[in-house]
């Protein structure tokens, strides 16, 4: 049965099940206000209907997003959140992890659609410009069960918002700086009572040949330029929203992005080869929302296409060039229904069907024994076509939010997922309460989540392990939120969170003596394969505080993030296991950042400090990467001409004090670099 036939069956079945529940009601209230004004506590704690009300949710402020429009999502999260970013350099692979989990246990959603790569299972945040996001929210822990399994540590959620009843607006910006880095951005938007359109164009290039200090090759450190690190990135996003009536909205978006980048070698490696990676991403969706007085129904279809071409060539053509092309396609259909059962009880149910297809040269089997061995020339095997692998995922989710009293809200969620004939259930429960009206709130949650192995973990050749088990874990957390206004000009916000996580069957790529297909054991005894070799306990705390002062001409803000993480293996794999009760590699125990910003009349200024603690790079903690502190600053001016044109020049300095640091061992990050930009708004 084909993809379209299966999809039609799932859609019809779900719509049929809702026939008896869904009733149209008359009303004049605009759609975006319905169902969202019922629970006062839910709004006060800045929760999201997609996650448990007892879980911690944080949102990057619009001011911070605007100040980072030319940067990547990796840089934004590294400097403005407690999420740990492990980066191989600007424009290079950058992954994110929550609360001592792994990068593969972090999910990324775009307008409610899971865009985590189905092959690698790990998202590269360096390839997402902040420019394409109107809102970025972080869901902590494994409470994000509504959009499927996978978010054991947490999820990063990117949203785009329509602009109803707004004038036509165009923003053009250009930035140029160190290492021949330049960025161009165009944003055009229009909104009326019935429609909303946004068009975004983006291009970025950098030679990325920054100077760094080489401390590896000789006893005396010396400065040299980074080689093979240049990159290009081009993107386009088109959004269209139509309000058919006061109760009905159609939304759609297309996001295309392509990039080309060189893959630099780690320090200490003599450069005898060059590696290049080209990536092509297409993400698109269309959805329909219908609102009645007490219910809401939404239907969405999405399509995601990814293609990656890898090439490797050698100096002086010493060896033949190498390379492969891997691509994946995903189709997604979701339907969601929410009903206000009573003034204090709200129910929700949703169904989703996802179809994944991977067309990967890296999945095909080639008998490596048929080459020249011991001076005997064997015939080359016939290269088979790329392997096609498929995955069908069906999920059903239901949840209830019950306002027990005016100050106490309960939330319970359950999700069932059928993943290629494997069935799992996940759940989440939570409470949120108001201690001091409009000032002090406490919430807590407990949840259970899964992560199915990625296609690479299952089918990669050589080494893929079709028998590897899913990762799974329990998560418990509690959050205290406090905010208070001191007069009309000063606002103080504080959030304290504590968590406890257990993650079992953690997947690691490790050597094995298992022979590869078609080979003998002694030839492949050091083959690396994914194995369930780690059980982890992660305990820690998080702090967020913000102080804002504002009067008629001046506004200032200080925001602070801090995290403490003890993420350790809690079981021995063998008697001499040196990793027992040791910190997980590349998980810092401490991370903090603070940002000060000030606006005075037409001038604006920001100063930022980010600290990342020691990260051990071996499981027995015998080697580590030193901690580092990086300072960034920016200064700009806003000039308005005849209330028609706004020009905003800005100067930004990253790594102000020329700090040498490595996010990933042997991959140096840039020293001081300067960028100048100008934004013209028409």
- Predicted local distance difference test score (pLDDT) of residue 538: 97
Half-sphere exposure of 309 (CA within 13 A, CB side): 5
- Predicted local distance difference test score (pLDDT) of residue 190: 95
Average pLDDT over residues 353-367: 85
- For the chain, the average pLDDT equals 88
- Predicted local distance difference test score (pLDDT) of residue 382: 56
Number of structural domains (the chain) is 1
pTM for the model stands at: 0.90
Q: What percent of the chain has pLDDT over 90?
A: 75
The model's pLDDT over 581-636, given as tens digits with 9 standing for 90+, comes to 999 999 999 999 999 999 999 999 999 999 999 999 999 999 999 999 999 999 99
Cis peptide bond prior to 462, omega within 30° of 0: yes
- Predicted local distance difference test score (pLDDT) of residue 321: 84
Round to whole Å and give the CA distance between 26 and 184.
47
- Predicted local distance difference test score (pLDDT) of residue 377: 56
Residue 9 pLDDT greater than 70, yes or no: no
- Contact assessment for residue 591 and residue 611, using Cβ atoms and an 8 Å cutoff: yes
Confidence of residue 518 (pLDDT cuts 50, 70, 90): very low
Residue 7 pLDDT greater than 50, yes or no: no
The model's pLDDT over 626-675, given as tens digits with 9 standing for 90+, comes to 999 999 999 999 999 888 899 999 999 999 999 999 999 999 999 999 99
Residue 73 pLDDT greater than 60, yes or no: yes
Cα 74 off chain centre by? 9
Confidence of residue 526 (pLDDT cuts 50, 70, 90): low
Residue 361 pLDDT greater than 90, yes or no: no
Cα 175 off chain centre by? 25
Q: What is the CATH number of the domain that holds 576?
A: 2.40.170.20
Q: Which of 355, 374, 359 shows the shortest CA–CA distance to 303?
A: 355
Query: Which of the 8 DSSP states describes residue 166?
Result: -
The three-state secondary structure class of 9 is: helix
Residue 522 pLDDT greater than 60, yes or no: no
- Predicted local distance difference test score (pLDDT) of residue 31: 37
* Alpha helix ranges (H) inside 432-555: 455-459
Round to whole Å and give the CA distance between 192 and 167.
8
Range of the domain at 650: 3-681
Query: Which of the 8 DSSP states describes residue 264?
Result: P
Average pLDDT over residues 508-535: 70
The model's pLDDT over 205-215, given as tens digits with 9 standing for 90+, comes to 999 999 998 88
The model's pLDDT over 18-69, given as tens digits with 9 standing for 90+, comes to 333 333 333 333 333 334 444 555 655 556 677 888 999 999 999 999 999 9
Q: What backbone phi and psi angles, to 5 degrees, belong to 677?
A: -140, 160
Round to whole Å and give the CA distance between 580 and 535.
10
Q: What residue has token string 């992560």?
A: 451
3-state secondary structure 566-592: EEEECCCCCCCCCCECCECCCCCCEEE
Please return the burial class of 1, using the count of CB atoms within 10 Å of its CB with bins 0-12, 13-18 and 19+: exposed
């Amino acid at each position: 049965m084909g993809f379209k036939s299966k999809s039609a069956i799932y859609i019809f079945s779900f719509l049929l099940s809702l026939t008896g529940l869904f009733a149209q009601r008359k009303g004049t209230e605009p759609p975006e206000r319905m169902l969202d004004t019922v629970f006062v506590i839910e709004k006060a704690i800045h929760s999201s209907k997609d996650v448990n009300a007892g879980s911690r949710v944080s949102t990057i402020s619009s001011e911070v997003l605007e100040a980072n429009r030319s940067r990547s999502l990796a840089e934004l999260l590294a400097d403005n959140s407690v999420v740990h970013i492990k980066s191989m350099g600007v424009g290079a692979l950058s992954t994110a992890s929550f609360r001592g989990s792994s990068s593969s246990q972090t999910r990324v959603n775009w307008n409610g659609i899971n865009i985590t790569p189905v092959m690698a299972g790990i998202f590269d945040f360096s390839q997402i410009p902040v420019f394409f996001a109107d809102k970025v929210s972080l869901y902590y822990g494994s409470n994000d069960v509504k959009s499927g399994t996978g978010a054991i540590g947490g999820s990063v959620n990117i949203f785009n918002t329509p602009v109803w009843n707004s004038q036509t607006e165009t923003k053009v910006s250009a930035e140029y700086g160190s290492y021949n880095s330049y960025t161009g951005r165009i944003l055009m938007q229009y909104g009326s009572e019935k429609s909303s359109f946004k068009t975004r164009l983006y291009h970025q290039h950098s030679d990325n040949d920054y100077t760094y200090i080489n401390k590896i090759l000789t006893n005396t450190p010396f400065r040299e330029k980074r080689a093979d690190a240049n990159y290009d990135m081009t993107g386009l996003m088109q959004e269209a929203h139509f309000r058919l009536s006061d109760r009905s909205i159609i939304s759609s978006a297309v996001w295309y992005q392509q990039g080309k980048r060189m893959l630099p070698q780690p320090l200490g490696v003599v450069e005898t080869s060059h590696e290049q990676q080209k990536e092509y991403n297409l993400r698109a969706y269309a959805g329909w929302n219908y609102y009645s007085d007490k219910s809401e129904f939404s239907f969405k279809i999405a399509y995601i296409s990814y293609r990656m071409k890898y090439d490797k060539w050698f100096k002086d053509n010493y060896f033949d060039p190498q390379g492969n092309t891997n691509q994946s396609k995903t189709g997604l259909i979701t339907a969601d229904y929410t009903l206000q059962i009573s003034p204090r009880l709200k129910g929700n149910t949703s169904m989703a069907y996802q179809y994944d297809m991977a067309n990967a040269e890296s999945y095909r089997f080639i008998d490596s024994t048929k080459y020249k061995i011991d001076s005997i020339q064997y015939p080359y095997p016939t290269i088979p076509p790329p392997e096609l692998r498929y995955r069908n995922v069906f999920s059903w989710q239901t949840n209830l939010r019950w306002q027990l009293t005016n100050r106490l809200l309960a939330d319970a969620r359950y999700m069932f997922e059928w993943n290629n004939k494997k069935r799992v259930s996940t759940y989440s429960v939570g409470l949120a309460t108001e201690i001091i009206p409009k000032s002090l709130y406490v919430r807590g949650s407990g949840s259970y989540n899964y992560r199915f192995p990625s296609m690479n973990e299952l089918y990669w050749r050589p080494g893929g392990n079709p028998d590897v088990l899913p990762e799974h874990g329990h998560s418990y957390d509690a959050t205290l939120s406090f905010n208070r206004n001191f007069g009309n000009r000063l606002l103080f916000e504080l959030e304290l969170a504590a968590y406890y996580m257990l993650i079992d069957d953690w997947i690691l790529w490790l050597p094995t003596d298992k022979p590869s297909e078609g080979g003998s054991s002694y030839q492949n005894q050091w083959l690396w394969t994914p194995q369930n070799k780690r059980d982890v306990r992660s305990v820690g705390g998080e702090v967020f505080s913000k102080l804002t002062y504002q009067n008629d001409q001046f506004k200032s803000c200080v925001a602070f993030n801090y995290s403490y993480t003890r993420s350790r293996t809690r079981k021995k794999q063998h008697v001499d296991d040196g990793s027992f009760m040791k910190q997980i590699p590349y998980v810092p125990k401490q991370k903090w950042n603070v940002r000060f910003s000030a606006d005075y009349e037409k001038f604006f200024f920001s100063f930022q400090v980010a600290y990342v603690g020691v990260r051990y790079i071996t499981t027995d903690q015998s080697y580590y990467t030193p901690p580092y502190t990086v300072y960034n600053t920016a200064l700009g001016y806003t000039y308005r001409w005849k209330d028609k044109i706004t020009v905003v020049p800005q100067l930004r300095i990253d790594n102000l004090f020329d700090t040498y640091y490595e996010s990933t061992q042997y991959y140096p990050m840039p020293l001081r670099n300067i960028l100048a930009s100008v934004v013209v708004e028409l």
